[in-house]
Structures are given as C-alpha cells and as structure tokens.
Amino acid sequence: MTTKTGIRLTQGQFSYLPDLTDQQITAQVEYALKNSWAVGIEYTDDPHPRNTYWEMFGNPMFDLKDPAGILMEINNCRKTFPSYYIRVTAFDATRGVESPKMSYIVNRPAKEPGFGLARQEVDGRSIRYRISSYATDKPEGERY
C-alpha cells in the first residue's frame, strides 16, 4: 500500500526509504548471495497488495558469486519495463524454509496515482471495503 495516498507504493523491504541506489542494491544482493539465496527479478504493473505473483524477468539466478551479474539483469529489466514496478527477491531453498527471504522494489513508475477506496453496503447495513489502484482502471500495459 502507500504511506500517503497517491504518493509512493510501499511493499517489501526498504519501501519507506528513498529509492535504493545501484550501490545499495549491490550491497543487498551481496548479502543475499552470501547466504546462498537465489536472487530473482520480477515486474508488474498491478500494484495491488494482494497481487503477490509478479511476472519473472528471466529465471531465478542460481550459482552466482557476484552481484554484478544481477545488477546487469536489473538494468536490463529497467530498460525493458521502464515504467513498471520491478522488485528483487531472494529465495531461501533451505529445507523447511523454501520461501523468499528478501523482497524489495528497485524500480517504480514516474507517477503513481495511488489507490482508491470503494465502500459497498451489504446485508444488515454492514460495510465492505475494496481498494484498487487508479492505474488498474486501464488495461494492462497502458497503466503508467
């Protein structure tokens, strides 16, 4: 979700901080590699918080020793999808864990319109709430 409506998406780690520089991303990737987690790059143009499955940009990167290769791929992804949300995930394959240990946004659209809240009155005058990004009113690929 966002800290203030219509300003910035906050999902995953470091999302309340200013955007990470390449140097900081490299340091985070280095940390993931040190723990032998597989680093993957994902992108989406649907920022709904329940949209957990983003598209993968290439395969998750196993057996890497150095962050330079991942930064190269992040930059590739930024070039391909300049106005999408792009995040870097680090997957821990340890038996029993088998889930992402890190996830942070490395690219975001220049203008983020934020989320709209819709109320729906249901049985017994209860209220249900629904949020959706203003961006998702438009079809995929034309949102940002």
29: burial class by Cβ within 10 Å (0-12, 13-18, 19+)? buried
Q: Tell me if 116 sits within 8 A of 6, measured CB to CB.
A: no
Q: Report the DSSP beta bridge partners of residue 86.
A: 43, 107
**Least CB distance to another protein at residue 21 (A):** 6
Instruction: Select 52 or 76, whichever has its Cβ closest to another protein.
Output: 76
Quick one: 52 or 75, whose CB is closer to another protein?
75
- Read off the tokens for 72: 């190269």
In angstroms, give the least distance from the CB of 26 to another protein.
10
Assess 58 for contact with another protein (CB under 8 A): yes
Residues engaged in binding another protein (CB under 8 A): 4, 7-8, 17-18, 20-21, 23-24, 27, 58-59, 61, 63-70, 72-73, 110, 112
